[in-house]
Structure 1
C-alpha cells in the first residue's frame, strides 16, 4: 500500500519502522530536516521536507494517489487540517492524531462532517488501557477485542498456582469459560494444547467471561485484591482522561501534580478527587501523603525514568499494583526484571491502533478478515473472520476439526452473544470467529485455518 505519514515524532518513527518492514511504500513529510534525514537513513522510506498540512507539499508527496494518509504531528490543528486536505486531494483513508480533551468531545462530528476516517488519541487509548488493567488487578496487560466486549489478559503464574505442573486437559472447565490462548516462557511464545504443562513464572494470555477471568487471575496471584483506591503521580492529559473513568468506578483517588495552576484546574474540574500540589518524585513527600496505604500507584509524569523509579519505590513500600507510563521502550530492555508490573506506552498503543487499521484494510480486500491485531511485538496475530455459508467446516464439533498447528480458536460471536468454545462447540454461517496464531501469516478466509487433507473439500 502507498502510505503518506506527516510527522516524525515517536509515533511517526514506530509507524515508519513497522510499516516499511511490512513492505508498504512509505512517504514521510517532516518540517525538521535533520530528523527527516535520520528517518530516511534508518528505514526503507522516502521523505519530503515541509509542512504536512500544506496543499503543495501533499501534492508533491503523492497524497492524491495514496491509500492511507496519517497525520501524527505534535499539533492537533495541523493534523486535522492535514487530514481534511488529504481527503479532498483523494486519499482513500485519512487518520489524524488528536490529543486535546476538548476536541475529543466532538470526534464523531470531525469524522462524519470533515471526512476523517479515523481519529486517534494516545492519552485516551492509554486511559482506557489503564482502566481495563485496574479491573483485572493481576493482569500485566489487557488487550480488548470486539469493541471492548472481549478481553485477553496477561498474567504470571506464581508457584503454587493450581495450573502449575499438570496438563491443561486436566483443568478443562475448572475455571469456567476461560481459554488459555498464549504461553510465553523464557521469551518463547507458543499456542498451548491439551498436553501443554504450565510452569511457575510462565506468562499466559487468557480470554473468557469477565467474571471467570477475574477468578482465574485471582488464582494466579491470590494476594492481589480488588483495586478500590489509587494515587496518580502527574496531572497531564492522560490523567485528565483517566479521572473521569475512575470516578465512575467509585474509586478513591489522589492526584499529585507539580504544577500549581494545573493542580488547581484539576481540583475544580474533579472535586470528587483529592488533588495535591507537590513533587510526586520525592520519596519524603510521597510518604507524607501516605501513598503506600493505597491499593495502587499510577506513575504518569512526563519523564520515563521518574515513572520507573516511582513504581519501583511503590512496590518496595508494599503497594500491591503499580502502573508505569514509559514512552522509551528501549529503557525496558536495559531495566529487565526490576519489578515493574503493568507498563503503558501511549505511542506504542496508538501506533498499534493505526497498524491494526491498515492491516484490517489490507487483509479485508477479497477476504473475510473483519479485524486484525498484533500482540507481543508482532509475534502473535489475532484475526476476526466472518463465516460465509460456503465455509467447508460448518456445523462440525471443534473437537473433530483439524486446524493447522500453531493456532487456536479463542472465541465465537453469534447473534451478538460471545461463546468461549469447548470441544462440542460448532462454527455456523454468519458467526464471527476470533483466531490466535503465532506461525501463520496472510490468512484470507476462515477456511485457511483448517488442514486440507481430510477429504472434505
Structure 2
C-alpha cells in the first residue's frame, strides 16, 4: 500500500519501521534532523514541512494514497490534515486525537469529518488498564479473535504447583489453555514438551476468558477480584480509567497535586474520593491507607515518580500494581526490574494502528489480520486468514514441515475455537494464531521450511 504519515515522533518512527518492509511510505515531519534520522534507519521517503499544509500533502502523494496516518502532537493538525487528505482522495485516514473535548464525541468526529479511525492514546491505555484489573493475576493482556481469545502474561511464584512441571505435564493437567512463550533468566523461548517451568519464569498463556478462569483456580491463583483501587495522578489516563472503573463495583480514590485538576475530577466523578496532595509523599500515602488497597495505579505525567511510587506499593505487598511509562526508551532499562505491569500509551496505540493497517492490507496483499509483539518485542504473535491456495491446507499439523521457534496457538473456524493437537488440520477460511521468534511473516505459508 501507499501510506503517508505525518509526525515523526516515537509513534511515527515505529510505524515507519514496521510498515516500510511491505508498503511505500512517505513521512512528513517539520524537524529536518528528526526526519533525516528516520530516513537513515528505514526505507522511506521524507518531506520536511507542516503536515496540515495543502501543498505538502499534495507533494507527498496524498491524492492517490491508500492510507493517511496523522500522529503529530497537535490534535488540530491531525484532524485538519486528515480532513484535507480525505478530500484529496486518500482511501483511509487515521488521526491521533488526545483531547477529551474531541474524543468524547468520537463518533461524530469520525462520521461527520470522514476520519476512518480516531485513536486516543490515553483512552486506549485506560481500556488496557481496565482489562488488567479484570484479570488481576496478569502482568499484561492482549486479545485476538474478536476478543474471544486472551493472551495473558503470568509469573510463576515460589510454591506454585506449576514450578518444576514439564510442558507435557502442564498440557495434561491444563489442556484448556496453552503456553505460547516463556521468559527464563532473561531469555525468551517458544517452549517444547520437554521444557521445564521454573520459579520466576514469565509465561504467555492463551485461552478463552472462561478457560483462563478455570486455569487460575486449578493452578493455585486464587480468585481475587479487585475491589479497591488507589490512583496516583489525575491526568487524562486517570480520567478515562475512572470513567470505566466507576461503572464497576470498585472503591476508587485519586491523589492529585494540582488543585484545579483535583476539583475537576471530584465534580465529574462524585462517587470517587479525590485527595489533593503529593503522591510522592509516603506519609500521605500511609495516611490514606495505601496498604489496604487491592490495586495501585501510578499514572502521573512523570515516569520517574510513577516508577518510585510503584516500587513503594510493591514493597507494601499490594497485589496489583500498574505503572505508566511514557518514554519508550526506559522500557529496556526496566525490563529486569521488579515492576509488575508497565503501561506505555505510545506502544499501545502503535499496536492498534498497525492492527488496523494490516487488517486493510489483508484485503489486498498480506494475510496478516493482527500482529502484536510480546516479551520485549522478542516474539511475534500473528493472526492469519488462510486462503484457498495455501500450502498448509488439509495436512495434519504433526506432518507440517514447520520452522523452528514457532507454535500454532489456535485455529478459529466459524464460531468454533480450536486449541490444536497434532491431529488437527488447517482449512481454507480459518483464522490461525502463530507465535514465533521469526520476524516479517506476511503469509501463513511462511511458517513452512
Whether the TM-score (by the shorter chain) exceeds 0.5 is yes
Q: Displacement, 1:296?
A: 0.9
Structure 1 position 75 matched with structure 2 position 69: no
Are the equivalent residues in 2 in contact too, given 1:324–1:343 (CA < 8 A)? yes
Structure 1 residues 68, 376: CA separation in 2 closer, same or farther (over 3 Å shift)? farther
Structure 2, gaps ≥5 residues long: none
Q: For residues 45 and 393 of structure 2, what CA distance do their matches in structure 1 show? A: 46
Worse-matched range after superposition: 93-102 or 281-290: 93-102
CA shift, 1:145, in A, is 1.5
User: For 1:193-342, what aligned pairs fall within 5 Å after superposition?
Assistant: 193-217=192-216, 222=221, 225-342=224-341
- Partner secondary structure for residue 338 of structure 2: coil
Write the mapping of 1:29-428 to structure 2, written as runs, cut at 5 A. Answer: 29-33=28-32, 35-36=34-35, 39=38, 45-217=44-216, 222=221, 225-362=224-361, 364-366=363-365, 368-388=367-387, 398-399=397-398, 401-423=400-422, 425-428=424-427
CA contact (8 A) 2:161 2:220 kept: no
Which residue number corresponds to residue 443 of structure 2? 444
Change (3 A) 1:304 1:393: closer
Specify the alignment match of 1:455 in structure 2.
none
Going from structure 1 to structure 2, the CA distance change for 1:419 and 1:104 (only over 3 Å counts) comes to farther
How many Å separate the matches in 2 of 1:66 and 1:162? Answer: 54
TM-score normalised by the chain length of structure 1: 0.88
Distance 2:438 2:36 in 1: 35
Aligned to 1:14: 14
Cα 1:277–1:219 change in 2 (3 A) is farther
Report SS of the residue matched to 2:326. Answer: coil
Paired with 2:80 and 2:406, the residues of 1 have a C-alpha distance of 43
Residues 296, 321 of structure 2: 8 Å contact kept: yes
Change in CA separation of 1:78 and 1:403 when aligned onto 2, cut-off 3 Å: same
Partner Cα distance (1:330, 1:174) in 2: 40
**Structure 1: runs of 5+ lacking an equivalent:** 452-457
The superposition leaves residues 237-258 of structure 1 with CA deviations (integer Å, 9 ceiling, x where unpaired) of: 1111111221222111111111
Question: Equivalents in 1 of 2:388, 2:34: separation in Å?
Answer: 51
SS at match of 2:95: strand
**1:220 shift after superposition:** 6.4
Aligned Cα RMSD in Å?
A: 2.8
Could you tell me how far apart the structure 2 residues matched to 1:95 and 1:140 are? 29
* Range that drifts further, 320-329 or 410-419: 410-419
The CA distance in 1 between the partners of 2:201 and 2:190, in whole Å, is: 13
Quote how far apart the aligned CAs of 1:52 are: 1.0
Q: 1:138 to 1:39 in 2, by over 3 A?
A: same
Structure 1: distance between partners of 2:32 and 2:439: 40
Tell me, in whole angstroms, the C-alpha distance in 2 between the residues paired with 1:3 and 1:111. 20
Q: Normalising by the residue count of structure 2, what TM-score does the alignment of the two structures yield? A: 0.89
CA contact (8 A) 2:148 2:209 kept: no
Counterpart Cα distance in 2 of 1:11 and 1:368? 24
- Equivalent-residue separation in structure 2 for 1:12 and 1:449 (angstroms): 29
**1:359-412 CA deviation, whole Å, 9 max, x = no partner?**
444455345443333334543222323344555665665456554433222122
Q: Does structure 1 conserve the Cα–Cα contact (< 8 Å) formed by 2:367 and 2:442?
A: no
Offset of residue 160 of structure 1: 3.2
Q: Aligned-pair distance for 1:347?
A: 0.7
Q: 1:137 to 1:112 in 2, by over 3 A?
A: same
User: Which sits farther off after the overlay, 328-337 or 188-197?
Assistant: 328-337
Offset of residue 137 of structure 1: 1.6
- Change in Cα spacing, 1:432 to 1:222, as seen in structure 2 (3 Å) is closer
Partner of 1:4: 4
Q: Secondary structure at the match of 2:173?
A: coil
Query: How far apart are 1:425 and its partner, in Å?
Result: 4.4
**Partner secondary structure for residue 365 of structure 1:** coil
How many residues in Structure 1 have an aligned counterpart in Structure 2?
449
TM superposition shift of 1:125: 1.1
CA contact (8 A) 1:123 1:241 kept: yes
Residue pair 1:158, 1:220 contacting (<8 A) in 2 also: no
Change (3 A) 1:221 1:99: farther
1:88 Cα deviation after fit: 2.0
CA distance in 2, matches of 1:191, 1:254: 41
